[in-house]
């Protein structure tokens, strides 16, 4: 049996094609592993940042808790007083949602300061004004 | 030209190379298509099944303020076999973590490969331990529950144990929603024990816990707790409860008890402090219960507001039993009986009604049955079946003796008058949302009519007079019409009869009386120095009511 030159060349080039394919495949596998490491690092970073976000949220909630705010105000000597004209507003509550009237946030905050925190310091502040 | 030998050598090398590449190719295909089932040649330590712990859901108040949150902390464990100088390591750990040294040594002497040293340590403790670089001591991340508002609403929130399971309050009641569902992922590790994300296959996805939005408002809760603390300092009661309800929906806006605890450090408090006394503790309500007898009589039409009752000058003999009034009265109208809180008057009103009708209305008002609030441990209260009522029952039950109620039941009862005759179901959770904010479950008000709107309006007028002219004058709030009823009850003795020096002072009411926004129930158990509801409980109601109205409007 004799093989022509062309056939020998074709058969001889097959291993190199295989080699190329194998190298291509291996490089892909290595890339997968490398990207896998990157994904893992990013995931860890994301988890860390999320955790940090939760931690900061917790800290913020602690700092803005009414108890803490009142303590800070007392320690720093922040005095709030009632406005001269204390306004009693008519109620707008409905049966479906009677608890919160539909006033804007600014008015709510003003009243909150006047009524809730202001009552703590109003006498001192008034005395100070005189 | 190729010789025969050359051709043979070429073909031999060619087939050898082909054979080698075929093997390589086969291996490559094997690795590619069967990545997770390496029966041989792939050590099992490279394949890991990782449990993914869900994030426990957060708890918010009605305005979105965080009340409970889970954060990552570190727990410390040891591998005793790796520790060489066990005594020295025990000394160091004892100093850093404040643990008994002998206990640590005994742990280190065990033959186990894993022993807990301390769970959920603080950042400070972790940093101190890290700097020591102790061999055989390791950290394991764990989730821990934190409550940023501290003691605020402790009895509603409850707390979680070391394993992050809810043990009290809504943490316990809604544990199934809050805890989420753990997931599993199957991953592979490299030679350095690092997971290869690219070869990961998630089998069971993790479901994080749902978030709860409560009906509580932290500002109202804070007002209540702050004012309750003042009353506790002044009268030193053995316990106390205050509830603020929305009378139209049953939303609990604030619920506070004394004694209280900090859920962040619940283990340092006596378990009796965990008790949500507003729903678990039963007491005899005294005169506040007169509103039930009065409503029943008005609803049944056996009395009118103008009907007059002779109050026997403070001493009433009924079938061999004697009933007293604190102040002796002659003839009083129906309204005056309530305004002046006459025991004799209300007993006579109840006699017109009859015991079966009275019993029926007591049940209608939700007494002797749970209010079904979404909190654990609720008591139903105590009430004898009407068949077992004796002669004295018609004297003492109408005025709130011989019946056991909870503060929550009294808050619901006063809400009936405030909202026009409907008994509401109180609740503390407004809605449950998933981690993306989608609503899973929304809780809607539930109520049923038990008395007519007309009866409720009449009673509202009477209760307004109680605050304007009667026993509840200390509950008056400038600028608002207030309706309410005081109560002072002697505490029953386990050996029979009543203590002469132990009382439960209470006040239940609502405001503004003409368009109620809030109902407040105040119960002070065994106050010292004073015992009348008008002296002890009404001023607390007044302070809370005033500040809450200023905040709400």
Give the length of chain B: 553
**Sign of the Cα pseudo-torsion (B455, B458, B460, B463, in order):** negative
Distances from the Cα of B21 to the Cαs of A27, B139, B140, B205, in angstroms?
Answer: 17, 48, 47, 40
Please indicate whether, in this complex, the C-beta atoms of B71 and A54 are within 8 angstroms of each other. yes
Q: What is the fold, at CATH topology level, of the domain defined by B218-552? A: Beta-lactamase (3.40.710)
For residue B287, indicate whether it is catalytic.
Answer: yes
Burial of A25 (0-12, 13-18, 19+ CB in 10 A): middle
Q: What is the dihedral of CA B21, B22, B27, B28, to 10 degrees?
A: 70
Question: Which residues of chain B carry a pLDDT beneath 50?
Answer: 36-41
CB contact under 8 A, B248 and A39: no
Catalytic site residue from B75, B239, B241, B287: B287
Q: Which residues of B touch A14 (CB under 8 A)?
A: 18, 21
For chain B, the maximum distance between any two Cα atoms, rounded to a whole number of angstroms, is: 144
Which pLDDT score, from 0 to 100, does residue A88 have?
55
CA distances from B450 to B162, B213, B417, B460 (A): 45, 30, 10, 15
Q: Judge: A51–B71 Cβ closer than 8 Å, yes or no.
A: yes
DSSP conformation class of B476: -
A22-58 residue pLDDT tens = 889 888 888 888 888 888 889 889 999 999 999 999 9
Q: Which of B7, B251, B550, B551 to mutate to test the interface with A (most CBs of A within 10 A)?
A: B550
pTM: 0.81
Report CB contact under 8 Å: A22, B24. Answer: yes
Phi, psi of B359 (to 5 degrees): -60, -45
Closest residue of A to B516, CA-based? A98
ipTM (interface predicted TM): 0.78
Domain boundaries, chain B: 71-146, 218-552
φ and ψ at B400, to 5 degrees? 90, 25
- B139, β-bridge pairs: B76
Residues B479 and B511: their CA atoms lie apart, in Å, by 11
> Which pLDDT band, with edges at 50, 70 and 90, does A86 fall under?
low
Mark yes or no for CB contact B196/A37 under 8 Å. Answer: yes
CB contact under 8 A, A29 and B219: no
Domain B71-146 annotated CATH 3.90.1310.10: yes
Residue B129: its pLDDT value, please?
A: 83
- Listed residue (B166, B159, B204) closest to B182, CA to CA: B204
Pair of tokens at residue B22? 């075929």
Q: What is the pLDDT of residue A124?
A: 44
Q: Of the candidates A82, A35, A32, which has an alpha carbon nearest to the alpha carbon of residue B31?
A: A32
- Please tell me the distance from the alpha carbon of residue B41 to that of residue B78, in angstroms, as a whole number: 33
CA-to-CA distance for B116 and B138, rounded, in angstroms?
10
Chain B residues near residue A11 by CB distance under 8 angstroms = 14
What is the per-residue pLDDT across B351-381, written as a single tens digit (0 to 9) for each?
998 989 999 999 999 999 999 999 999 999 9
> Of B71, B197, B253, which is closest to A43 when you measure between CB atoms?
B197
Nearest CA-CA distance, residue A72 and chain B, Å = 15
Name the minimum distance, in Å, from the CA of B14 to any CA of chain A: 6
| Tokens linked to B169 | 């309050």
Indicate the domain borders of chain A: 1-64, 78-129
Give dist(CA B273, CA B253) in Å, integer.
21
CB A67 within 8 A of CB B147: no
* A chain contacts of residue B251, beta-carbon cutoff 8 Å: 99
d(CA B184, CA B195): 14
Q: Distance, in angstroms, between A34 CA and closest chain B CA?
A: 8
Interchain pair B553, A58: CB under 8 A? no
Exposure string of A100-128, with b = 16+ CB inside 10 Å and e = fewer, is ebeeeeeeeeebbbbbbbbbebbeeeeee
- Chain A hits for B25, Cβ within 8 Å: 18, 21-22
Q: Which residue of A has its CA nearest to B123?
A: A55
Backbone conformation region of residue A112, classed left if phi is above 0, alpha if psi is from -120 to 50, else beta: alpha
């Amino acid at each position: 049996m004799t093989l022509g030159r062309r056939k020998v060349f074709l058969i001889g080039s097959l291993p190199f094609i295989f080699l190329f394919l194998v190298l291509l495949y291996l490089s892909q596998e290595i890339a997968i592993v490398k990207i896998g490491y990157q994904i893992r690092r990013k995931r860890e970073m994301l988890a860390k940042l999320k955790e940090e976000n939760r931690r900061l949220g917790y800290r913020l909630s602690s700092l803005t808790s009414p108890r803490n705010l009142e303590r800070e105000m007392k320690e720093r000597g922040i005095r709030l007083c009632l406005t001269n004209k204390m306004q009693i507003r008519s109620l707008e509550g409905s049966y479906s949602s009677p608890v919160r009237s539909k006033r804007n946030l600014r008015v709510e905050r003003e009243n909150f300061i006047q009524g809730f925190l202001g009552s703590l310091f109003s006498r001192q502040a008034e005395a100070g004004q005189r | 030209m190729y010789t025969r030998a050359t051709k043979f050598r070429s073909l031999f090398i060619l087939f050898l190379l082909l054979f080698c590449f075929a093997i390589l190719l086969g291996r490559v295909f094997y690795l590619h298509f069967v990545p997770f089932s390496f029966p041989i040649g792939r050590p099992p330590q490279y394949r890991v099944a990782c449990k993914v712990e869900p994030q426990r859901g957060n708890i918010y108040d009605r305005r979105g303020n965080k009340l409970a949150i889970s954060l990552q902390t570190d727990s410390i464990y040891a591998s005793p076999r790796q520790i060489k100088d066990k005594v020295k390591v025990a000394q160091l750990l004892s100093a850093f973590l404040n643990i008994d040294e002998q206990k640590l040594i005994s742990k280190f002497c065990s033959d186990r490969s894993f022993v807990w040293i301390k769970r959920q340590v603080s950042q400070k403790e972790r940093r101190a331990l890290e700097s020591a670089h102790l061999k055989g001591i390791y950290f394991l991340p764990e989730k821990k529950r934190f409550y940023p508002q501290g003691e605020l609403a402790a009895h509603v929130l409850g707390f979680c144990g070391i394993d992050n399971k809810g043990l009290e309050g809504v943490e316990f009641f809604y544990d199934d929603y809050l805890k989420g569902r753990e997931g599993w992922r199957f991953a592979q590790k490299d030679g350095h024990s690092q997971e290869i994300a690219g070869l990961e296959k998630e089998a069971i996805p993790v479901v994080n816990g749902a978030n709860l939005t409560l009906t509580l408002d932290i500002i109202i809760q804070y007002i209540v707790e702050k004012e309750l603390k003042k009353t506790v300092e002044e009268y030193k009661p053995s316990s106390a409860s205050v509830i603020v309800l929305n009378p139209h929906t049953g939303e609990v806006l604030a619920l506070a008890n004394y004694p209280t605890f900090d859920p962040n450090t619940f283990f340092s408090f006596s378990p009796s402090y965990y008790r949500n006394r507003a729903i678990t503790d039963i007491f005899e309500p005294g005169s506040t219960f007169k509103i039930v007898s009065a409503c029943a009589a008005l609803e049944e039409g056996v009395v009118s507001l103008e009907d007059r009752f002779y109050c026997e000058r403070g001493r009433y003999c009924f079938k061999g039993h004697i009933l007293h009034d604190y102040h002796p009265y002659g003839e009083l109208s129906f309204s005056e009986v309530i305004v002046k809180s006459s025991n004799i008057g209300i007993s006579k009103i109840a006699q017109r009604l009859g015991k079966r009708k009275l019993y029926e209305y007591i049940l209608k008002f939700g007494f002797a049955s749970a209010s079904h609030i979404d909190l654990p441990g609720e008591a139903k209260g105590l009430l004898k079946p009407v068949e077992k009522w004796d002669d004295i029952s018609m004297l003492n039950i109408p005025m709130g003796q011989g019946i056991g109620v909870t503060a929550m039941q009294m808050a619901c009862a006063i809400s009936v008058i405030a909202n026009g005759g409907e008994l509401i179901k109180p609740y503390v959770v407004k809605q449950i949302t998933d981690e993306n904010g989608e609503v899973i479950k929304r809780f809607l008000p539930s109520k049923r009519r038990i008395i007519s709107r007309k009866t409720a309006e009449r009673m509202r007028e009477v209760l307004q007079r109680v605050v304007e002219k009667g026993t509840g004058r200390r509950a008056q709030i400038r600028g608002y019409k207030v309706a309410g009823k005081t109560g002072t009850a002697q505490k029953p003795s386990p050996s029979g009869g009543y203590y002469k020096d132990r009382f439960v002072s209470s006040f239940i009411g609502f405001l503004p009386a003409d368009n109620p926004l809030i109902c407040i129930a105040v119960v002070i158990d065994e106050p010292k120095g004073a015992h009348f509801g008008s002296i002890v409980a009404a001023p607390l109601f007044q302070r809370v009511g005033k500040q809450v109205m200023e905040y709400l409007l």
